Amino acid sequence: MVSSQSLAKSIVKGSLRPKPDEVVLISTYPHTIELAEATALECQKAGADPALWLDTDALFYGNFKNYSVESLHRVSGHCVGLLDYVNSYVWLNGPRNPAPMATVPREKFAAMFEGEKAHFDKMFAKVPKNVSLAIGQVTRERAKTYGLNYPKWKAMVEAATVVNTERLASLGNLVAGLVSRPVDVRVTAENGTKLKFRLAGPERKPYVHDGVISDEDLAVGTLASRSVDLPTGEVGIAPVEESASGTFVADVPIPQRGRLVEGLSWTFRNGKVTDFTAKKNLPFAQTNWAEATGAKDIFGEVSFGLNSKALPGFMQNSIVSGIVSISIGDNRGAGGKNDSSYGFSAPLAHGTVEIGGKTVIQDGTWTI
């Protein structure tokens, strides 16, 4: 078991690397308050200027009980105001229990997502550093809601968090080199996936999530390059948006608003989604689809998992070694041109990927 003190040191010294007087906001829920406090203390030792932001399940769900759709559609003054002076964020994630999400009217969740666009627009402009901790999501309540094995999930997240970051960086840099070329990519699988798209080349910089927000990551300058999840292990890039043609079918259930979206499928033509289906719980993948503005139905991003200790079928699918994930909608965080209030990502655990005519993943296993 990873202690709060050792994890806090890893967050601050290993990942965030704050400079003296750097303003750090640590967002926490009661079940992660010990880790939040330990992280703040490590920030103080590094000379940074930390503060804690406490949320609770009651306050989270109170948004939907106490505010109208019109109110939820307006961005929070706190969210946009904090970006005026906060340099870095540490997200410990919540709420503890996601089950009530399924009872919240879709219109209210959609209004909140739409209202958040102004927040994200400012995030893309300010590009603060972000470290997000999956351990805050690992609760018995969430495991029960999504039918997950809690002990196995917890053990997996802890093992994947302490994976060898040098090996992640080595593989990540190799993959980053492959996706930095202007070549075609093909993704296929026995579940009906047959997708082709093109990479933009040097004009689009990939992000490498190896656990450290390095000077090189800061130089890339995108929100994705300045962010890291723990556990980590992912390389992503915004390809040529109009180049996607074919079908992508997810083979891993996607936890969303208290339900599992199963068998999600997108069909693309010239980068545009022409068919959007799922075998189960499609509306939970389309929360603000009807209300969304901008390039909501445009091919956005591809990422590849690197972490050999992570397992598919939980909530950290994009980092699992050999998984390929596809996103639609807003991709400005990865340096793309899609501007939208909607975005969604789906994983494929047993796919085969060719980059520039070379097979790099075969049935979910790296071959490089």
Please state the rounded mean pLDDT for residues 37-61.
98
pLDDT (tens digit per residue) in 184-228: 999 999 999 999 999 999 999 999 999 999 999 999 999 999 999
User: Residue 237: which of 289, 292, 182, 295 has the closest Cα?
Assistant: 182
First to last CA, the chain: 32
pTM above 0.75, yes or no: yes
d(CA 130, CA 24): 10
pLDDT (tens digit per residue) in 300-327: 999 999 999 999 999 999 999 999 999 9
Q: Quote the CATH superfamily of domain 4-161.
A: Thermophilic metalloprotease (M29) (3.40.1830.10)
Q: Mean pLDDT in the chain?
A: 96
Q: Where in the chain is the domain with CATH 3.40.1830.10?
A: 4-161
- Provide the 10 A C-beta neighbour count for residue 25: 20
User: Residue 104: which of 256, 257, 255 has the closest Cα?
Assistant: 257
Question: Which residues are bridge partners to 242 per DSSP?
Answer: none
* Residue with token string 């340096």: 335
